[in-house]
């Protein structure tokens, strides 16, 4: 029966690319997770989304858009991921509630402004705190933590805690090799 369920789940979510699942690592979707896939969306093993209180929105805007979500990724309620060019979310990433990850400003400021999309890379073992905003062109380094309510406008190094508006390094983290964020 579980095999039929996984085949049904994959058939229902057309256009998404899932790795080959076993019963133990099917995606866990609780509540509402609204996916608008006009491009390429790849979701890794053990994906978990908790959209009970507020729906999660995951969007690839056009056929050139590519969104890659790694293994063991958790996305909490109210998260909005808008991809018009390229977003890569690494393995073991945790994204807190009400967070936005957008690779485009989606609006022009004036008549001379143009819409520009810049890729976002969130490396492995990152934790993004509640109500954070990750803006276009940012890379968040391996094992780093983005404090709640932060606005990330520049690259974040590996193994640091950043916070504020705009986000700045608060402290260096001590991360043992092979440690995985849970």
Catalytic positions: 107
Alpha-carbon span 39 to 172, nearest angstrom: 37
Structure token pair of residue 36: 């608008």
Number of H helices, E strands in the chain: 1, 18
Contact 18, 37 (CB under 8 A): no
Q: Look at the block and give the residue holding tokens 């390229």.
A: 86
> What number of other Cβ atoms are within 10 A of residue 140's Cβ?
28
Distances in whole angstroms, Cα of residue 144 to Cα of each of 31, 120, 141, 169 = 28, 15, 6, 10
Sign, Cα dihedral of 160, 116, 70, 54: positive
Reference 25, options 5, 55, 45; nearest CA is: 45
């Amino acid at each position: 029966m579980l095999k039929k369920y996984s085949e049904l789940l994959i058939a229902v979510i057309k256009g998404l690319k899932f790795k080959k699942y076993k019963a133990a690592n099917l995606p866990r979707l609780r509540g509402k997770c609204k996916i608008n896939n006009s491009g390429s969306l790849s979701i890794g093993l053990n994906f978990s989304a908790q959209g009970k209180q507020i729906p999660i929105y995951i969007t690839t805007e056009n056929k050139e858009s590519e969104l890659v979500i790694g293994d063991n990724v958790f996305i909490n309620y109210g998260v909005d991921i808008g991809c018009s060019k390229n977003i890569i979310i690494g393995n073991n990433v945790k994204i807190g509630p009400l967070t936005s990850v957008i690779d485009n400003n989606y609006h022009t400021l004036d008549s001379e402004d143009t819409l520009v999309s810049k890729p976002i890379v969130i490396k492995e073992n990152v934790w993004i705190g509640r109500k954070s905003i990750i803006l276009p062109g940012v890379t968040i380094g391996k094992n780093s933590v983005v404090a709640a309510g932060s606005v990330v406008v520049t690259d974040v190094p590996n193994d640091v805690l950043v916070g504020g508006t705009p986000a700045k390094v608060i402290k260096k983290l001590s991360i043992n090799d092979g440690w995985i964020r849970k």
